[in-house]
Amino acid sequence: MNQTCTVIAICNAKGGTAKSTSSINLGAGLGKLGFRVALIDNDPQKANMTMALGQTGSNLRYTMATLLSTALDCPEELPDYIAKTILHVENMDLLPANKKLTGICTRLSVEQTAPSFDLDGIRPEFALRTIIDTIRDQYDYIIIDCGPKLDMLMTNAMVGADQVIIPVQAHYLAMEGLTDILETVKVIQQRYNPNLTIGGILLTMYQSQTNLCRTVSAQIADQYGREIRLFASPIVASIKVAENPVFGGSLFQLFPNHPATKGYADMAQEVAYG
């Protein structure tokens, strides 16, 4: 196992905070720095990461649903199935998803509470970690894109991750999802993964000319800044960022000179070098 590999879960218990965009572009930024990067689409609702990288989930035979089922049922077969599932996009590898992931989320929830669960098997909370441990020695960074629900897939992401990065929209409801996700991290640390840390808070959809964005940034820095890193470069609000999933590629590929691309490049530098 590659002990130098860092696994990052991009999480927020609120939709519309640019989780998928941030996952893709952090990965692309780290790839630009020469690191080996894998992306995991762990969002059961829309599989935005898969779509945004130009893949049609409904056409894929092997996806994260396949791998999670294999982890639960036949973990010894994971290397073969992972090799069939991985897609190569830009300078990264992608473990894609489609709507079948919703059914796996239901299965994980049922098996978590089933009194007849085989205690000799893989616990449902550790299914994704089993996949990650299988590929960890191949990468420097593994980035997990999560959906907005505090469900078993998000639990799996945090159990498998080394750190959580929280994208937060610079909006008056910003604290809503942030509080929930920080509480969830504490629960995961206590029950499953004591080594999980908060990698930072990333402000997204930021408009520096507005008092609202500046106020939200100041509030977050005041409330959490002494304990949690607030990434130095907020991601600016832009129609190009909002439309990024339509074009099938990262901002680095499509809009290399855009201010948002610079923001993600700065973020990658901070993640890699502190």
Q: What integer pLDDT is reported at residue 120 of this predicted model?
A: 60
User: What values do phi and psi take at 159, rounded to 5?
Assistant: -65, -35
φ and ψ at residue 186, rounded to 5 degrees = -60, -40
Q: Does residue 111 sit within a domain?
A: yes
**Given this model, what pLDDT does residue 274 score?**
87
For residue 190, tell me if it sits in a domain.
yes
Mean pLDDT per block of 10 residues along the chain (274 residues) reads 82 90 97 98 89 89 97 96 97 95 93 64 92 97 95 97 95 78 96 97 89 87 93 89 79 93 97 94
Give the chain's end-to-end CA distance (angstroms, integer): 23
**Per-residue confidence (pLDDT) for residue 1, from 0 to 100:** 41
* 1 within a domain of the structure (yes/no): no
Query: Are the beta carbons of 35 and 189 closer than 8 angstroms?
Result: no
Residue 60, pLDDT score: 94
Instruction: Give the residue numbers spanning the domain of 204.
Output: 6-273
Q: How far apart are CA 27 and CA 23, in angstroms?
A: 6
In a domain, 180, yes or no: yes
Number of domains in the chain: 1
The pTM assigned to this predicted structure is 0.95
Instruction: Kindly report the CATH number assigned to the domain that includes residue 247.
Output: 3.40.50.300
Residue 4 structure tokens: 């130098």
